[in-house]
Structure 1
Amino acid sequence: MISTLSADGTTAIAMEEGSGPAILIVHPGLDDGTAWRKVTDILAREFTVTNIVRRQYRDDIRRRVSIADEVADIAAICGALQRRVLIVGHSSGGVVSLEALAARPDLFVGGVVYEPPVDIGQPIGGESLDHAVQAIAENKPGKAIQIFTRDIVGLPSGQSRMIRVFVGLSSKLKRLAPGQIADNVAMRDLGTRLGAYAGIELPVLLIGGGRSPAHLGERLDVLMQTIRYSERVLLPRQGHSANQRAPREMATVITRFYRDLLVPKKEAH
């Protein structure tokens, strides 16, 4: 485990495995850092893989968490690693990763972002997010996540109802639900940041799923036009959870991208 102080004195925490060139995983919402375990187990055969435990989802953090706080934690972990990394961010973790790439390009060799719900001109969530915030305030995490998955993520109503049931049955999901809604508030507070992302000069791989909600693909379209050195990969049979449903496919995409980044460095010697 890596434990180091972030800029504001909060301890940043990450788990590390494997050896070789470094990858930093920034996990998605409604997760405690374990959702990418199947992928990291594969990547760790060739790379040093570090999974940050995002501040937004930690039980020991009692105050409001901003995207800037999480970027500072990433910088602290990279400082502890003492080398540049490939940052890999999923969903809201992808938004955090883009912010890190824009703020501290010196820390990275490039980035991989999987369906980040970036603001492309409309506020994240709108009134639905306010309703989800109210549900959390009323101690109704299942209702909050139903609103989130149906009205913000864009899942079918029936699937969102099932997720509400799962939240009611899972102590882990109940615990993580407030962080998920707070995560969306933090992204809404961030606003439209396409101007900052246009300044990213590092290679960035944009990953999307063929079965994901259409708005996620639209956001990737905009990012493709915004980030100068970006390329895009579509996983045609996957949705927003390919890290769990197709971990080998996801690991292969990341590995190929990283190997291509490393080739010029090897040839330079």
Structure 2
Amino acid sequence: MIEARDGATIPVHTRGSGPAIVILHGGGVDISVYRWIAAAFEDRFTIHLYNRRGRADAPARTRPYDMREDIDDLAAVLDRTGAVNVIGHSGGGFIALEAARELPIERLALYDAAVHVDNQFPTAWLEGARAALEAGDTARAIALVGRGINTHQPASRLPLGVQTAICRAFLRTPIGKMMGELLHLTFEESNSIFEHAGPASKWSGITAKVLLACGAGGPGYYPKINEALASVLPDARTLLVPKSAHDALNRAHPRIVEPLVEFFS
């Protein structure tokens, strides 16, 4: 247990031995979907995972939603564990990148980081998806998210009614149930990410060594975002992971595990 700056208690789940790495999970899920990547690292690294606020065993979020809370919690975890290495995924990647502007992070690996750089990240889906959720149609809301951000998938071009039916079935799966329950939080986080948009130069002061990774099987905007960031960060490189989509980090395939092990070694 770690005490956050506001006095809340953050449960941290630790496994393995060796140099410490904190994994910052993405939006719409909790740390349970990162068990395979933690297992893949535990013979070489000490892995610290914690649920960001509003999820599973984490404290409730304060209102109104403020990304500052996420950065302060990461600061507390780094301070207490002594970790200087961070992996950030999706929305967690954005938080980690923002935090690296001020926290003592030495090595930062991002996978499909949801950073709104130079207007590259799609935003038009949020308003309609939020309206659908407020109207009580969670399946339609998820369908609108999917067609808005998974622009590379053929399914994104199916009629919305068909996509909604698919999402209704998805909501009956364990991962779908989790994502549906956290959807309101995902929208708040997305809105905050979009509000923090800017040119790549906004992050040029980060001194950490940075690995900007994304999947070759994902949307085309992630490589563009990574290239833009790599062009201004003092010590960064990009990595396009073959045959990988947005969930590659969760699946812990060797093609993503091995480059991460090399980076943090």
Same fold flag (TM > 0.5): yes
CA distance in 1 between partners of 2:194 and 2:147 (Å): 17
The CA deviation at 1:80 is 1.5
Q: Which residue of 2 aligns with 1:265?
A: none
The CA deviation at 1:114 is 0.5
Matched, 1:80 2:80: yes
Question: What SS does the aligned partner of 1:102 have?
Answer: coil
Cα contact 1:39–1:248 (8 A) shared by 2: no
Instruction: List runs of 5+ in structure 1 lacking aligned partners.
Output: 260-269
Q: Which residue of 1 aligns with 2:92?
A: 93
The CA deviation at 1:241 is 1.3
2:190 pairs with one of 184, 187, 191: 184
Identical residues among aligned pairs (%): 23
- Structure 1, residues 209-262: CA drift from partner, whole Å, max 9, x if none? 111110111111111112110012221111111123443332211110111xxx
CA distance in 1 between partners of 2:180 and 2:59 (Å): 16
Question: What SS does the aligned partner of 1:34 have?
Answer: helix
Q: Which residue of 2 aligns with 1:256?
A: 262
CA distance in 1 between partners of 2:135 and 2:199 (Å): 32
CA distance in 2 between partners of 1:67 and 1:26 (Å): 13
Question: Mapping of 1:1-12 within 5 angstroms?
Answer: 3-12=1-10
- Structure 1, residues 105-151: CA drift from partner, whole Å, max 9, x if none? x2x22100011121123285434211112122222222222111211
- CA 190–28 in structure 1, closer or farther in 2 if over 3 Å, else same: same
Matched, 1:167 2:171: yes
The CA deviation at 1:60 is 5.0
CA distance in 1 between partners of 2:136 and 2:120 (Å): 25
Amino acid at match of 1:37: R
My pick for the range that moved more, 245-254 or 39-48, is 245-254
Cα contact 1:56–1:182 (8 A) shared by 2: no
When normalised by structure 2's length, the TM-score is: 0.87
The CA deviation at 1:93 is 0.8
Instruction: List runs of 5+ in structure 2 lacking aligned partners.
Output: 157-162
The CA deviation at 1:156 is 3.0
Question: What SS does the aligned partner of 1:147 have?
Answer: helix
Question: What SS does the aligned partner of 1:143 have?
Answer: helix
Amino acid at match of 1:139: G
Question: What SS does the aligned partner of 2:33 have?
Answer: coil
Q: Which residue of 2 aligns with 1:148?
A: 145
CA distance in 2 between partners of 1:13 and 1:139 (Å): 32
Matched, 1:135 2:139: no
Q: Which residue of 1 aligns with 2:200?
A: 194
Moved over 6 A (4+): none
Amino acid at match of 1:191: A
Q: Which residue of 2 aligns with 1:225?
A: 231
Amino acid at match of 1:167: L
Cα contact 1:33–1:53 (8 A) shared by 2: yes
- CA 16–229 in structure 1, closer or farther in 2 if over 3 Å, else same: same
The CA deviation at 1:168 is 5.0
CA distance in 2 between partners of 1:164 and 1:182 (Å): 22
Greater share of helix = 1
Question: What SS does the aligned partner of 1:7 have?
Answer: coil
Question: What SS does the aligned partner of 1:191 have?
Answer: coil
- CA 76–193 in structure 1, closer or farther in 2 if over 3 Å, else same: farther
CA distance in 2 between partners of 1:217 and 1:232 (Å): 8
Q: Which residue of 2 aligns with 1:53?
A: 51
